[in-house]
Chains A and B, each alone.
Chain A
Amino acid sequence: MANMQKYKTPMPEVAPEVRNKSWHEVACGYSEADALNEASRCLNCKHKPCVAGCPVGVKIPEFIAEVSAGNFIKAYRIIKETNSLPAVCGRVCPQENQCEGKCVRGIKGEPVGIGRLERFCADYAASHADELKKSDLPASNGIKIAVVGSGPSGLTCAGDLAKLGYDVTVFEALHTAGGVLVYGIPEFRLPKDIVAAEVNALKELGVKIECDMVIGRILTVDDLFEQGYEAVFIGSGAGLPGFLGIPGENANGVYSANEFLTRINLMKAYREDYNTPVRRSHRTAVVGGGNVAMDAARCAKRLGADVHIIYRRSEAEMPARREEVHHAKEEGISFDVLTNPTRINADDKGNVTSITCMKMELDEPDASGRRRAIEIAGSEFDLEVDTVIMAVGTSPNPLIRMTTPGLNTNRKGCLVTMEDGVTTTREGVYAGGDAVTGAATVILAMGAGKDAAKAIDHYIKNKK
């Protein structure tokens, strides 16, 4: 008989007034007792709606049954069969829209905490490495595959291909592997040694990772084919930051969220022992309502600023996960919703002094149910700030499409793919993640990496 407790076993967290000054992880993870209790809430449904909600098809009821039985390592192995990065997914997946969104327990109460259990298994395995018998390396088939980008899609694609015996090399432009997992998502949400451990697990599978390799410059996709790679996967991400196009955006103290987060997460600007400078702000405005805006706001708070999130629609329309909004509010970040920036003001040295905004109101829902935000006449006001962070989306980096003949893109610069979502217009070239979809989630990128690995395997086997 399943445990009929209506709510998820709570996740222990560091208190808001402590964590908003600390870079340590906010959510502490389940104890064994917490995990056993939560796992016993699973009804082990025959039709497994949760699995259908998972982009990488983790065998959820099976792994939870093993957790329930106290076989944590076995549970971890089951997750690992289909998910190369469980410690990452357990932390950053929007489970509420995926596996947990489909959980039957969610109808009367809260769904099973699948993400928390996944994280528990991954963390347990990491701290019990001696119990993890080295799995035999797959027999190599000697076929070389190149993966461009070491973010979530690239790492997943590389891992799945390596398991099939391919000789995989991942090319990363920056100096550390992990893509958005290292430059974008902050330490307090996803510790960087966890990313490094997942990357190392891939290296143990035989995947080679080469950093400082900006594909499109040092080597083109054509060069890779000439060097004997038989297929190329492009997971180069949605790198190019967007701005609003309002006056004053080039003033000193205006950052793209990418730049601000990269300075902090990749370049460790918050640590005294690193050279990287970042503005010490008294008051920061973060423009945008997505997860990236929440990450930037929470980083700015930890650097000591009074932080305001400025978003043009209401909180209900914010694309960020509820949990992220909730965490940000708990940490003392102000939410100025229904507010639209129109201008950034600076002093004679070019330093930001304030941001001019209009108050907005929501129109009646249109035919599609979407409520348009419209300016309230005469509502203009200035918010005094010394730093502005623009978290208003990104578009794909043009470098690869500029240097690869035959690779088509749409008008947004995203790579065009066939119906399978991963086969590009150039033979032997596959793609996935934000380079195809524009900015999306880690798990969707991983799903695409997985599909691409299958498609590449199929392509190679049928080529001969």
Chain B
Amino acid sequence: MFKILEKKDLNESVVYMKVEAPLVAAKAKPGQFVIIRAIETSERVPLTIAEYNAAEGAVSVIFQAVGASTMDIASLEAGEYLLDFAGPLGRPSELDGYKRAAVIGGGLGCAIAYPQAKYLHEHGCAVDIIAGFRNESLIILEDEMRACGDKTVIVTDDGSNGNKGLVTDALKAEIEGGAGYDLVISIGPPIMMKFVCALTAEYGIKTIVSMNPIMIDGTGMCGGCRLTVDGKTRFACVDGPDFDGHQVDFDELIRRNNMYRDDESHMREAHCNLLKH
């Protein structure tokens, strides 16, 4: 059982949760993830670690309550306990040795992109952050991102924050403006990552993406998280979650992520009805 130390809503569906897990906190590195099971009937949900503090013995995650099992997590409050919290899993990101990076976050992906940007910033790499959201009300972590970005650009699909656009347009403008990136990190919806990678491939800039596919055990046992990288089948849980974005088969990834879409909406509805009564 793992105690929830703090919980807050970042927007209408995105939740920040800080959990007491001293052993995980002591070993965690940027880019790694944990598997959370809120209650007995929940699925095991993989979530990338947003913050970790070994001294405090705490690990934080940021997630969107979209499916039945993430709703189970969101239904618990500070002071209550998560049934399972296993990690840190996956290979840590390799972020050392870069001079100037662009970190691209899309929506909830900013929760994962932000700690990467922070690590780069703290380790002497100049960082530009480009974050995209559907509208202004969904913007998360703005202050945190602005604090570690040498330049921070926030765009929205509908322009409601006064800066309408796509992250790819903003990135292209920076590259064309002579930013001279030696690394791009792109984390967000697979379709966004696909287009960022297509753009950076044109300029030959190394691009790392972080995968968040369907997963069960997170230790290499089920193979449910497999994806094709450079023509070979890889497991996101043990070979990733970070991969060279120019080699990932995004179309296959997008298809696989939709595998349980009907089940999920069915269960979400059942869950919502349950909460109504």
The interface of chain A, by Cβ under 8 A from chain B, is 173-175, 183, 211-214, 217-219, 239-241, 243, 249-250, 252-253, 255-256, 258-259, 262-263, 267-268, 273-277, 349-350, 397-399
Contacts and interface: CB of A to CB of B under 8 A. Distances in A.
A275 B87 contact: no
25 contacts: A173-B86, A174-B219, A175-B84, A212-B84, A212-B86, A217-B88, A218-B87, A240-B220, A240-B221, A240-B223, A240-B235, A241-B221, A241-B223, A243-B233, A252-B255, A256-B222, A256-B223, A259-B224, A263-B216, A275-B67, A275-B267, A277-B267, A350-B258, A398-B238, A399-B219
Contacts of A258: 221-223
A218 B23 contact: yes
Contacts of A213: 86
Contacts of B244: none
A173 B34 CA distance: 12
A241 B235 CA distance: 10
Q: DSSP majority for the A interface?
A: loop
Q: DSSP majority for the B interface?
A: mixed
Interface of B: 23-24, 27, 37, 41-44, 67-69, 72, 83-89, 216-224, 226-228, 233, 235, 238, 252, 255-256, 258-260, 263-264, 267
B41 A275 contact: yes
Nearest to A236: B219
B233 A250 contact: yes
Contact of A239 (B219, B224, B252, B255): B219
A246 B87 CA distance: 33
What 3 A-B pairs are tightest by C-beta distance, nearest first? Answer: A350-B255, A259-B222, A277-B263
Nearest to B267: A275
Contacts, number: 109
A250 B234 CA distance: 11
Nearest to A241: B223
A214 B43 contact: no
B220 A397 contact: yes
A219 B219 contact: no
A275 B72 contact: yes
Contact of A267 (B67, B89, B216, B220): B216
Nearest to A261: B222
A7 B76 CA distance: 58
A256 B224 CA distance: 8
A175 B223 contact: no
Nearest to A275: B68
Nearest to A259: B222
Given A275-B72, A397-B238, 18 more contacts: A175-B83, A214-B87, A214-B219, A218-B86, A218-B87, A219-B27, A239-B220, A241-B221, A250-B227, A256-B222, A256-B223, A258-B221, A275-B67, A276-B43, A277-B260, A349-B255, A349-B258, A350-B256
A184 to B, nearest CB: 10
A259 B216 contact: yes
Contacts of A183: 217, 221
Nearest to B2: A212
A274 B68 CA distance: 10
B72 to A, nearest CB: 7
Given A250-B252, A399-B219, A175 B86 contact: yes
A218 B24 contact: yes
Nearest to A253: B259
Contacts of B228: 250
B86 A219 contact: no
Given A214-B87, A243-B223, A273 B255 contact: no
Given A240-B220, A277-B263, A399-B220, A214 B255 contact: no
Given A175-B44, A250-B256, A259-B222, A399 B23 contact: no
